[in-house]
Amino acid sequence: MGTMQLESVPEPKYLHLKTVLSEALDQDFAVGEILPNERELAARFGVARATLRQALEQLELEGRLQRRRGVGTTVAPPRVGVDVGGAQHSWPGESVDGWEPVDAAEEAVLSPALLKLLGTAPGEMVLAVRRSRVENGQVLAAELLYVPASSVPGLSAIDAPAGPARARAVMRELQKLVLDGQDRSVELGSARPEDAKELDRLPGAPVLLVTTRYFTVAGTAAVSVATYRADTCRLTFGDSGDVQITHDARVAS
C-alpha cells in the first residue's frame, strides 16, 4: 500500500468515540434501553470519563441520548415534531394543541429588546401570561406571553384569582382581538434556571427560543417568547408533522 496517509489531522478522540457510539446505538440498542454507566463506558473505550462525556454531550444535543442524574443514560426516541404554526393568523391555543395556562401577572422589569419588540414605553403596564406546552405528559415548552395593557381593553376588568384561572381569563380577552398577522424567529439559547426546572432539564440546557409577534391593525398586540427543549423537539412549520426527520436525514458521507 506504500505510504497511505492515515490522517494529516488526526480526528479528536471524542469525535471518533461519538461515531462509534452512534453506530452502536443504531445497531445494538433499542429506544429506551439503558446504556452502561459513564465510568464503565470510559473504561471500555480506554478514555478518561471527561472525554467520554464530551461524546455523550453531543449525542444528547442531537437528540439521540437522554441523560438523567441519579438514573442513567438511555436511548432517546426520535424527536417529536411540534407544530409551531404556519401562516395561520390565530392565537395559539385556540385549537387543541397542548397549551396549558399557568399564571398571569404584571411584569415589572422588561428587557430593552423586549420593549422594542412590543413597541411600548418603559413604565407602561405589561401583563405576562405563563403557559406550558404539554404533550404525552411531557413539558415540551414554557412560554411567556407579554401583553401590553393598552392592547386589550377588557384587561382591567379581570379579577380572577392568581393561577391558571387568571391566565385563562387573559387569554379569553386576547382571543377577542382580530389578528392581522404575525412574524416569528427561532434561535438557539440556553435555559434559564426558571425554565429549566419546568422543562425538567438542568439550567443551561440547550433550548430553541421561538419569538412571535402578534399584530392587529392597531400594531403589535402581544409578543410571545417560547422556550422549547432542543433535545426532544423538532419545530415544524406547515402540515408535515407526521414525517420523521432525524439526524441521519443527512447523508453520512
Interface ranges with a copy of itself (CB under 8 A): 12, 15, 18, 58, 61-63, 79, 81, 86-87, 107, 109-114, 116-117, 128, 144, 180-190, 192-194, 203-204, 206, 208-209, 211, 213, 215, 225, 230-231, 233-241, 243-253
Contact partners, residue 246, CB within 8 Å, separation at least 6: 63, 78, 79
Give per-residue burial for 146-162: e unless 16+ CB within 10 Å, then b: bbbebbbeebeeeeeee
Give the three cell numbers for residue 116: 422594542
Q: By CB under 7 A, is residue 226 in contact with DNA?
A: no
Closer to DNA by Cβ: residue 155 or 196 = 196
- The item of DNA, a copy of itself, none sharing an interface with residue 189, based on CB under 5 to 8 Å by kind, is a copy of itself
Contact status, residue 252 vs residue 225, Cβ threshold 8 Å: no
Nearby residues of 43 by Cβ (< 8 Å), 6 or more positions away: none
Least CB distance to DNA at residue 40 (A)? 7
* Distance from the Cα of residue 65 to its chain's centroid: 16
Site for DNA in 22-51 (CB under 7 A): 35, 37-40, 46-51
The residue among 159 and 183 lying less far from a copy of itself, judged by its C-beta, is 183
- By beta-carbon proximity to a copy of itself, the closer residue of 5 and 159 is 5
The stretch near DNA (CB under 7 A) out of 13-21, 23-31, 143-151, 214-222 is: 13-21
Question: In what helix (H) or strand (E) does residue 52 lie, and over which residues does it extend?
Answer: helix 49-61
Q: Do 73 and 32 touch, CB atoms closer than 8 A?
A: no
Give the whole-angstrom CA distance, residue 98 versus residue 114. 25
Element (H, E) at 207: strand 206-216
Q: Which three cell numbers stand for residue 75?
A: 436511548
67 binds, among DNA, a copy of itself, none (CB under 5 to 8 A by kind): DNA
The site string for DNA over 148-187 (x = CB under 7 A, - otherwise) reads ----------------------------------------
Nearer to a copy of itself, 79 or 166 (CB): 79
User: Nearest approach, Cβ of 1 to a copy of itself (angstroms)?
Assistant: 24
